[in-house]
Structure 1
Amino acid sequence: MDDHPAYRGGLRMMLADVPGVRLVGEAESGVQAVALAAELGPDVVVMDLRMPDLDGIEATRRIVASGSPSAVIVLTMFEDDDSVFAAMRAGARGYLLKGADQDEIVRAIGAAAAGEAIFGPEIAARVISHFAAGSGSTATAFPALTAREREVLELVATGKGNAAIAHELVISLKTVRNHVSNILTKLQVSDRSAAIVKARRAGLGDTGP
């Protein structure tokens, strides 16, 4: 599932002659990926993170939450901690970087189909380092949020209003309102107060003693 036709085409060609691997569908948006996973029930879904309509994290979360037997492998260019751990929290069984060779991708698909979790070497090293350092969990809270939405939620959780957030982040008031609206939807809450409660329970918005 990738919004770039050229990359999907390359992946299709790469997998065409691999024994035991059959491509059953392609999607160019997150919404389409969720729908196709439900319709086709593939053993493995290869998911990009940056897609229109619905990002790959939320698409992964919806596929997993639906009870689908499909194992999701993320194949993306993003290797930052937020992306990696958000994908894991959303239920991804693997995480590879674009540029991985054919053997690595095929091995990951086979492992995911067998119920195993697999990560590219760069990502595995990052995961090990993260847990070895005892890193906090707030960065991985609310995996459906984008980095900017999480930043806005952090400020909302401290009690700041939209105007103050716009000033601090140097963005327009309309942009802040859009972010807050998306946050409420993704957190599945009806108002700002409920979002603050949920964020503070997750450790966001440290307001001091």
Structure 2
Amino acid sequence: MNTPPSIRVACVEDDPHFQALLRKLLVPERGFELLDIFNNAEQAVASILDSRPNVVLLDMKLPGKTGIDCLGMLASHLPATAFVMLTGDDTPQQVFAALKAGACGYVLKTAPTEHLIEAVRAAAIGGGPLSPAISRVVISAFQTKSAKVQPRIPGITHRENELLGLFVRGMSAKEAAFEMGISYETVRDYLKTIYQKPKVRSRTEAVLKYVRNQQGPALAF
């Protein structure tokens, strides 16, 4: 059996302790190739544009240009690269600023290490990883007191819609698979189908579109 190619990862992170954690986690034994860790955006951009990693992990707060600034300099040039924000800031303004800038995911540094590993893997296959706490921030920002209708992205099946509902509640793909009584591979198949819908390129966009359909067009951003 052929071994799947390693997920090539670059990181922009200035905290020495978190740098050490990333070097410990993103190892070949887990299926990763850590290309480099950069201390700031200015140092990172040219190298990342040249190496074209599968996933870039970006700290939000960097010396000099911010992680969102760095994302803005990279995203349009690297359409096949997934960008995941790493931060301790879970304010809605920061979350939405990152998602608007092109991040596919947003993971708190305080999340368990297995969440970070799963986030990198999910991002590499087109998913939109969000820490459960961030999922709650996203959903609470959309909540209103108005009556809710059954949310549905046009063209998806009942089971695909059910899967998105579990993601809205903050479940991971594995937790959703258990809740629905299906395999993790089936969840991935559902996601691939959902991503084929108009303007849905990642799990994050699917969840946000699900919530917009639940609450109405006034929540578009």
TM-score normalised per structure 1: 0.60
- Counterpart CA distance in 1 for 2:117 and 2:127 is 13
* 1:60 has 2:67 as partner: no
AA matched with 1:92: A
Q: Please point out which of 38, 51, 58 is paired with 2:49.
A: 38
State the identity %. Answer: 33
Q: CA deviation at 1:90?
A: 0.5
* 1:7 has 2:5 as partner: no
**Bigger strand fraction:** 2
What are the superposed Cα offsets for residues 44-77 of structure 1, whole Å, 9 maximum, x if unpaired? Answer: 0011011112100111122112234211101111
Change beyond 3 A, Cα 1:81–1:6: same
Q: Please point out which of 98, 107, 114 is paired with 1:96.
A: 107
What are the superposed Cα offsets for residues 73-128 of structure 1, whole Å, 9 maximum, x if unpaired? Answer: 01111111111010000100110111222211111001100011110000001111
Instruction: Give 1 or 2 for the bigger CA radius of gyration.
Output: 1
Q: CA deviation at 1:131?
A: 2.0
What does residue range 1-209 of structure 1 map to in structure 2 within 5 Å? 1-16=12-27, 18-133=29-144
Query: Displaced runs of 4+ in structure 1, greater than 6 A?
Result: none
Deviates more, 1:41-50 or 1:2-11: 2-11
- Counterpart CA distance in 1 for 2:133 and 2:113 is 16
- Counterpart CA distance in 1 for 2:83 and 2:144 is 27
Q: CA deviation at 1:21?
A: 1.1
Q: Is the 8 A contact 2:52 2:78 kept in 1?
A: no
Give RMSD over aligned pairs.
Answer: 1.6
TM-score normalised per structure 2: 0.57
AA matched with 1:122: A
